[in-house]
Structure 1
């Protein structure tokens, strides 16, 4: 391979190695060692040209080539930026990257720092256009191969699930994984199976998730504990509402396997009676949980998504309870709901009372003349800032469009366009079209804003008519108004107060709760 350096200069060569899986990495001589040995031999053959192998290790074991989130690669690029490397050596092109886009970006970085690139088994000279074109073509095939492998893996998993086989993943409580045969199988862990059946019985007895979570904590029954193939312990966390719900809705416990939205008969032994499982699903549905595990809320909670617990910074969730044929609404801390009553001291707040307190505060600020002037000034200032921002965006887009069109013309006139140039041309066409559409939209917005104006009497009239306007709004519209006015509401259990932060207003109002 030719180099831009003189023969008297040493060429500092860095060897990069990668392996997608961790299998075999703990052996005495693994794939990474083999890759490095081949690269070192290649460097030794170029010793007359001044090639020197750097001692630093740039290895990524167990990392996919489909992205650049790899510690060894990041270290390599950092040393390139620091000027410590002249040439990068890999065993094969796809060891560096299997993504054409990522590889193209790395090649740009190499060119910016005058870095040569060598593949031991595919000798290329990246200082020549033909070498770069060949690299791009080979990398395209590598990316295609990676996508094909991904499709085959997904198809294999789907086929295994249709046959009722366990296709891998996190082990579940009640089963162990037997890997002694040609394919892994689930076998019943008898002690854990007793625990699973106990959980199902507790739910039917107690009727809801949180009491079961508390009971499991009291009994000291955690979730599944297992070890990875390399002996690392995993799992064993206490149950919360999410993990408990996942266990109670998993069809694996009645001898079935699930793939996406389909359920198939499994080859493993069930550990929960089908009737009990169906009763649990009925109870979960009756408690208001949708199939996706989301809680339904059809009661138009006005400050839902705005109210937070100051103690743990968690959102306060709207919920309700039924007593004597009457429904009572509350806001409860999400952490308390998830982890149990000992996790947060904040009590449940009566929804109607705290919502009324927030509305009363908004009604009070409507009569504050200084605040009305502040709102007017800020509204005018925001409108002017918006116009200035749009004007700057139009100028930036216009400059970018001019640059892209000039670059497109230059690339189109290339005498022998390569695959990378064709990719750049396609990308430029797409960006030009997007920017032209955005430019037209911004120009229309400027025209609309030129016709807009805000007068002080309009602001005063809007505040003075607050009560009348509020009463005519539907609940969903009231929620929208509150979301536009209020950015955050915090409840402080230590002094039984709430603070309200308003959008774009440099003030926070403190109230005592009812």
Structure 2
């Protein structure tokens, strides 16, 4: 009877604890006792202090050595999540909160996973236990300040890059012909390459002599000269491309050659030696501006050129540029492949096309489309097929750029966190390149999203194709040359000229078909009133 009245002690439920450890770099991991071991030892000691509460360590190790906390792409973390989903873990223990994640967004997602499986989270040094509301609140506040600190670090790094350039220090980028990068000192600096200095000076002299970019590029390639060749830190050789008009123009306008540095819109005196004197640089710049005045301005073309920017060479896939020559009082217009203009006739055999003839041929083909039911249906089918392919390509591009953006942002976070308080010049140069990549990828993703919206809104029907094309011949001859060019740019996506058989292939814009159809509908409505 006495035995029945004696209360048995209630045994605490077993809480299976998984210890997660992480280190951003692989440095020191080969030591007998490294940072991961130290984190695990502290966690084991804490779990041992909770033995009376039923806490016990599971034998499986979850150690991520050499992985950033700015993302969740970590093998041990994935194994930990798998163990939680399999029901083998009741509590996750870490040395510090940032060992699990340095991103508030990622941490929130991880905590959602923990909550859905009833798993608690404990930080040894910060005494957090997410089974309590106060612990969760404090944890979110801490991570918010950690994220704010990373943003402040990023601002300090950008300010340091700007300050370096104001002081004339080279802060990274692609090496240019005439200079090498000396990394032997406390910060990298540009030093003149004795062999390449003469080449750079001669390029400036050649331009003053020939007064045109194309003859200079042809002469440089004839001599076997090429762009800068350099080796990356990974031992990969880059550069060495042949010269063309663009690369010659870029070289002739680079302020590095007069001992200066450019940062955004500002130019500062550099600490490196000049290769070209300022008088020659100024003279070349004035000649470039004189020769280039008005180029690229659509209003400058007074001879029509309604296919400007639309017709392409099938041989080299370059646009064919509109140009003209005068013989006496008569003007002859042509479309010439850009490769021929930039690199010379020997690099592309596509002949110059008489502009009036090719323009007339394009207009005739559009007339045929407008009057032929079968061709209209074919245009509709091709438009829908091409639109689907373009949407798929845009979606893929968006995903790829998103991954590249994520990798660049992760590397920025890793470098920033590993250089708090002091940052080397090499790290500063790398960060400058990474910030530029992030801006490029963000812009590219935004542009891709806008293009996707436009594609989804541009689906056309056969009725819209009929309305768009039937009104074409009625208005074409009443338009000015400038208006004809605008219509062609709106209607045509691309024209390919095939040199082998002298034919052209026209691809129409689906968005243009829809807008022209709407315009035709508006015109009909206006006439009926």
TM-score range, shorter chain: 0.5 to 0.7
TM-score of the superposed pair, with normalisation by structure 2: 0.63
Given the superposition, is the C-alpha separation of residues 464 and 181 from structure 1 closer, same or farther in structure 2, using an over 3 Å criterion?
closer
1:309 matched residue in structure 2 = 313
User: For the Cα contact (< 8 Å) 2:491–2:508, is it kept in 1?
Assistant: yes
User: For the Cα contact (< 8 Å) 2:313–2:320, is it kept in 1?
Assistant: no
**Are 2:275 and 1:268 equivalent residues in the alignment?**
no
1:474 matched residue in structure 2 = 480
**Are 2:10 and 1:7 equivalent residues in the alignment?**
no
**Are 2:39 and 1:39 equivalent residues in the alignment?**
yes
User: Shift of the alpha carbon at 1:148?
Assistant: 1.7
User: Shift of the alpha carbon at 1:470?
Assistant: 1.0
Q: In the aligned structure 2, how far is the partner of 1:244 from the partner of 1:169?
A: 19
1:492 matched residue in structure 2 = 498
Q: For 1:489, what is the secondary structure of its paired residue?
A: strand
Q: In the aligned structure 1, how far is the partner of 2:15 from the partner of 2:101?
A: 32
Q: For 2:365, what is the secondary structure of its paired residue?
A: helix
Q: In the aligned structure 1, how far is the partner of 2:60 from the partner of 2:353?
A: 68
User: For the Cα contact (< 8 Å) 1:485–1:502, is it kept in 2?
Assistant: yes
User: Shift of the alpha carbon at 1:102?
Assistant: 4.5
2:227 matched residue in structure 1 = 223
What aligned pairs does 1:4-403 form with structure 2 within 5 A after superposition? 7=14, 13-19=19-25, 34-45=34-45, 46=47, 49-54=56-61, 57=64, 59-60=66-67, 65=70, 68=71, 73=73, 75=75, 79=79, 92-94=96-98, 98-109=102-113, 111=115, 121-229=125-233, 232-288=236-292, 295-297=296-298, 298-299=300-301, 301-312=305-316, 314-324=317-327, 329-334=333-338, 344-368=348-372
For residues 197-224 of structure 1, give each alpha carbon's deviation from its aligned partner in whole angstroms, at most 9, with x where no partner exists: 1222233334333443343333333322
Given the superposition, is the C-alpha separation of residues 233 and 41 from structure 1 closer, same or farther in structure 2, using an over 3 Å criterion?
farther
Structure 1 unaligned blocks of 5 or more:
20-24, 383-444, 446-453, 506-514
User: Shift of the alpha carbon at 1:251?
Assistant: 0.5
User: Shift of the alpha carbon at 1:354?
Assistant: 1.9
Q: For 2:129, what is the secondary structure of its paired residue?
A: coil
Q: In the aligned structure 1, how far is the partner of 2:60 from the partner of 2:339?
A: 55
Structure 2 unaligned blocks of 5 or more:
1-11, 49-54, 385-456, 512-529
User: Shift of the alpha carbon at 1:270?
Assistant: 0.7
Higher RCO structure (Cα 8 Å, ≥6 apart): 2
For residues 94-123 of structure 1, give each alpha carbon's deviation from its aligned partner in whole angstroms, at most 9, with x where no partner exists: 566554344434544555566665656545
User: Shift of the alpha carbon at 1:272?
Assistant: 0.8
User: For the Cα contact (< 8 Å) 2:69–2:100, is it kept in 1?
Assistant: no
Q: In the aligned structure 2, how far is the partner of 1:485 from the partner of 1:289?
A: 29
Q: For 2:73, what is the secondary structure of its paired residue?
A: helix
TM-score of the superposed pair, with normalisation by structure 1: 0.64
Q: For 1:52, what is the secondary structure of its paired residue?
A: coil
Given the superposition, is the C-alpha separation of residues 467 and 103 from structure 1 closer, same or farther in structure 2, using an over 3 Å criterion?
same
Q: In the aligned structure 1, how far is the partner of 2:286 from the partner of 2:505?
A: 41
Q: For 1:73, what is the secondary structure of its paired residue?
A: coil
For residues 252-280 of structure 1, give each alpha carbon's deviation from its aligned partner in whole angstroms, at most 9, with x where no partner exists: 10111111111122222110122221222
Given the superposition, is the C-alpha separation of residues 18 and 107 from structure 1 closer, same or farther in structure 2, using an over 3 Å criterion?
farther
Larger mean CA deviation between 76-85 and 50-59 belongs to 76-85
Q: For 2:59, what is the secondary structure of its paired residue?
A: strand
Q: For 1:488, what is the secondary structure of its paired residue?
A: strand
Q: In the aligned structure 1, how far is the partner of 2:176 from the partner of 2:343?
A: 21
Q: For 1:173, what is the secondary structure of its paired residue?
A: coil
1:394 matched residue in structure 2 = none
Q: In the aligned structure 2, how far is the partner of 1:318 from the partner of 1:360?
A: 21
Q: In the aligned structure 2, how far is the partner of 1:50 from the partner of 1:207?
A: 78
1:422 matched residue in structure 2 = none
Residues matched between the structures, number:
407
Q: In the aligned structure 2, how far is the partner of 1:160 from the partner of 1:201?
A: 32
User: For the Cα contact (< 8 Å) 1:316–1:331, is it kept in 2?
Assistant: no
Given the superposition, is the C-alpha separation of residues 237 and 486 from structure 1 closer, same or farther in structure 2, using an over 3 Å criterion?
closer
Q: In the aligned structure 2, how far is the partner of 1:245 from the partner of 1:111?
A: 60
Q: For 1:494, what is the secondary structure of its paired residue?
A: coil
User: For the Cα contact (< 8 Å) 2:312–2:319, is it kept in 1?
Assistant: yes
For residues 216-249 of structure 1, give each alpha carbon's deviation from its aligned partner in whole angstroms, at most 9, with x where no partner exists: 3333333223344565544444444444332221
Larger mean CA deviation between 47-56 and 244-253 belongs to 47-56
Q: In the aligned structure 2, how far is the partner of 1:257 from the partner of 1:52?
A: 58
User: For the Cα contact (< 8 Å) 1:17–1:90, is it kept in 2?
Assistant: no
RMSD of the alignment, in Å? 4.4
For residues 158-213 of structure 1, give each alpha carbon's deviation from its aligned partner in whole angstroms, at most 9, with x where no partner exists: 22322322233333222223334443332212112112112222333343334433
For residues 478-507 of structure 1, give each alpha carbon's deviation from its aligned partner in whole angstroms, at most 9, with x where no partner exists: 3443345434322222222111234569xx
For residues 400-426 of structure 1, give each alpha carbon's deviation from its aligned partner in whole angstroms, at most 9, with x where no partner exists: xxxxxxxxxxxxxxxxxxxxxxxxxxx
Given the superposition, is the C-alpha separation of residues 466 and 151 from structure 1 closer, same or farther in structure 2, using an over 3 Å criterion?
closer
For residues 117-161 of structure 1, give each alpha carbon's deviation from its aligned partner in whole angstroms, at most 9, with x where no partner exists: 565654533444433332322222222222222222222222232
Q: For 2:135, what is the secondary structure of its paired residue?
A: helix
Q: In the aligned structure 2, how far is the partner of 1:222 from the partner of 1:344?
A: 20
Which of the two has greater helix per residue?
A: 2
Q: For 2:360, what is the secondary structure of its paired residue?
A: helix
